[in-house]
């Protein structure tokens, strides 16, 4: 089942739409965004220079730091009177990256998410249990509104409260689960305690999973645990949120909604555009966004793109599941966390030093984050004071970065060093 006929249009028609929309977007940012006008002027580019899709390579890249540098609304190309929603992610210095949406943008978001749901044959007869977090992150609300547009019943469960989630899934007759894959496994693990035949009490038939890296083994384990169809969903708030691409049940890879998001694969070191099928960094350009158009955004995600039509009938290009990152970003239970963000919180707390170590591990199927920090030499090393420091820092990480972290405070020169520097990140999940 295909939601919109454009998803199966001939390549020539898709590329004609892309070029038209690209020209419109370039004209919009050139005239309405001082940031982009300055960047274009620096290299001598005007909208008139974009005549083919290949001409996009003449344009400069946009990075996450550009959004931070223009906090909060410096990259918006629509007045606040037209902004109907704002989302954001946590920021390195306490300033988040902010994204805005006009009603037109919301319509685009709902459109691409309805396409995603249709890949799992979701209709108005379905009950959707949404276990993505609601709030400033795009996950929960990104899945929510499109479900309503389809006429399905949406249960806004959000994250956490495992036993309650299972009760709602069982009692409300959920047929669709939306969550991170590791939380889906955690739910299955707890439900399995009810007995090996626990699945007979649930009506789940399909799940939409994203917000964290996955392997083929993890996808298979989730599908087998619940005996459901697994739909992988990819997105990022800077571009739209969930709905940039999603997998179908016929082929390999995730169909990019490329009438709204133009994809490129580049060499992460040189910035050179790579041929089809070669692995590199995914770069995306929004083609229809009004509030926050983004030109050649470097996602940091490593993948490949394939153009051959899929057995499902869709002709949109497909990206492979993300294989890794070009930077040191960690994804903890669906939340993006940079070591620099953690360091900023530590640096603003007087009783500890900047000698720290981040340990990512698993507790069951869920991610667990431990932050080990050396205490300041002049700070009292009493149990009472240590407990206060742990409590304070835990709350700061939760308030600033939206992460639950276990804090361990150790004496000076305790953390192992290499070439005089503390080893910063240990990811035991790998």
Would you say the pTM of this structure is higher than 0.95?
no
Q: What per-residue confidence (pLDDT) applies to 338?
A: 76
Question: Nearest 5 degrees, angle CA 238-CA 239-CA 241?
Answer: 85
Number of domains forming the structure of the chain: 2
In this structure, the answer to whether residues 357 and 390 fall within a common structural domain is yes
Q: What per-residue confidence (pLDDT) applies to 430?
A: 67
Angle at which helix 103-119 crosses helix 139-150, to 10 degrees, equals 80
In a domain, 158, yes or no: yes
From first to last of the 430 residues of the chain, give the pLDDT tens digit.
899 999 999 999 999 999 999 999 999 999 999 999 999 999 999 999 999 999 999 999 999 999 999 999 999 999 999 999 999 986 545 578 999 999 999 999 999 999 999 999 999 999 999 999 999 999 999 999 999 999 999 999 998 899 999 999 999 999 999 999 888 988 998 998 888 889 999 999 999 999 887 778 788 889 999 999 999 999 999 999 999 999 998 888 999 999 999 999 999 999 999 999 999 999 999 999 999 999 999 999 999 999 998 999 999 999 999 987 887 778 888 888 878 788 788 888 989 987 889 999 998 888 999 999 999 888 999 999 999 999 999 999 999 888 899 999 999 878 875 434 456 888 898 6
**Of the residues 327, 343, 363, which one is the last residue of a structural domain?**
327
**Of the residues 303, 327, 351, which one is the last residue of a structural domain?**
327
Question: Nearest 5 degrees, angle CA 89-CA 93-CA 99?
Answer: 30
Q: What per-residue confidence (pLDDT) applies to 94?
A: 58
In a domain, 12, yes or no: no
In a domain, 291, yes or no: yes
In this structure, the answer to whether residues 156 and 108 fall within a common structural domain is yes
Euclidean distance between CA atoms 87 and 130, whole angstroms: 18
The domain that contains 124 carries what CATH number? 3.40.50.12780
In this structure, the answer to whether residues 269 and 339 fall within a common structural domain is no
Q: What per-residue confidence (pLDDT) applies to 23?
A: 98
Q: What per-residue confidence (pLDDT) applies to 58?
A: 97
Closest CA to 253 of 206, 317, 319: 319
Tokens representing residue 296 in the block: 């050649």
In this structure, the answer to whether residues 209 and 187 fall within a common structural domain is yes
Which pairing describes strands 280-286 and 297-303: parallel, antiparallel, or unpaired? antiparallel
In this structure, the answer to whether residues 250 and 336 fall within a common structural domain is no
In this structure, the answer to whether residues 111 and 164 fall within a common structural domain is yes
Are 185 and 225 spatial neighbours (Cβ–Cβ below 8 Å)?
yes
In this structure, the answer to whether residues 294 and 402 fall within a common structural domain is no
In a domain, 21, yes or no: no
Q: How large is the C-alpha radius of gyration of the chain?
A: 23
Domain of 307, in residue numbers: 69-327
In this structure, the answer to whether residues 323 and 336 fall within a common structural domain is no
In this structure, the answer to whether residues 281 and 383 fall within a common structural domain is no
Say which residue the tokens 């955690």 belong to.
Answer: 186
Q: What per-residue confidence (pLDDT) applies to 420?
A: 41
The count of other CB atoms within 10 Å of the CB of residue 276 is: 11
In this structure, the answer to whether residues 416 and 322 fall within a common structural domain is no
Are 238 and 63 spatial neighbours (Cβ–Cβ below 8 Å)?
no
In a domain, 106, yes or no: yes
In this structure, the answer to whether residues 249 and 141 fall within a common structural domain is yes
**Of the residues 327, 361, 381, which one is the last residue of a structural domain?**
327
């Amino acid at each position: 089942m295909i939601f919109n006929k454009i998803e199966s249009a001939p390549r020539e028609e898709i590329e004609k739409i892309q070029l038209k929309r690209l020209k419109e977007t370039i004209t919009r940012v050139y005239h309405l965004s001082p940031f982009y006008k300055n960047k274009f002027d620096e290299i001598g580019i005007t909208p008139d220079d974009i005549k083919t899709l290949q001409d996009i390579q003449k344009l400069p890249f946009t990075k996450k730091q550009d959004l931070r540098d223009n906090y909060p609304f410096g990259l918006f190309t629509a007045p606040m009177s037209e902004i109907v929603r704002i989302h954001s992610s946590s920021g390195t210095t306490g300033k988040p990256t902010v994204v805005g949406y006009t009603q037109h943008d919301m319509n685009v978001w709902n459109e691409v998410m309805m396409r995603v749901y249709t890949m799992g044959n979701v209709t108005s007869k379905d009950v959707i249990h949404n276990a993505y977090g609601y709030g400033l992150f795009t996950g929960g609300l990104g899945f929510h509104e499109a479900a309503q547009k389809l006429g399905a019943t949406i249960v806004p469960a959000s994250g956490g409260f495992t036993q309650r989630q299972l009760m709602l899934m069982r009692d409300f007759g959920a047929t669709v689960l939306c969550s991170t894959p590791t939380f889906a496994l955690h739910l299955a693990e707890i439900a399995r305690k009810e007995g090996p035949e626990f699945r007979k009490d649930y009506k789940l038939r399909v799940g939409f999973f994203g917000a964290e890296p996955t392997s083929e083994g993890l996808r298979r384990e989730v599908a087998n645990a619940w005996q459901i169809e697994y739909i992988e969903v990819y997105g990022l708030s800077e571009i739209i949120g969930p709905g940039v691409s999603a997998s179908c049940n016929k082929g390999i890879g995730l169909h990019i909604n490329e009438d709204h998001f133009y994809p490129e694969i580049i060499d992460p070191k040189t910035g050179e555009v790579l041929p089809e099928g070669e692995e590199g960094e995914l770069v995306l350009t929004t083609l229809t966004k009004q509030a926050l158009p983004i030109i050649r955004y470097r996602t940091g995600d490593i993948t490949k793109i394939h153009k051959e039509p899929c057995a499902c009938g869709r002709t949109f290009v497909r990206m492979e599941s993300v294989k890794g990152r070009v930077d040191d970003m960690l994804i903890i239970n669906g939340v993006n966390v940079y070591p620099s963000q953690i360091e900023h919180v530590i640096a603003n707390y007087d009783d500890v030093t900047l000698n720290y170590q981040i340990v990512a591990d698993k507790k069951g199927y869920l991610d667990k984050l431990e932050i080990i920090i050396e205490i300041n030499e002049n700070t009292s090393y009493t149990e009472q004071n240590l407990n206060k420091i742990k409590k304070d820092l835990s709350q700061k990480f939760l308030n600033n970065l939206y992460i639950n972290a276990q804090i361990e405070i150790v004496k000076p020169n305790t953390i192992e060093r290499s070439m005089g520097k503390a080893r910063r990140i240990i990811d035991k999940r790998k």
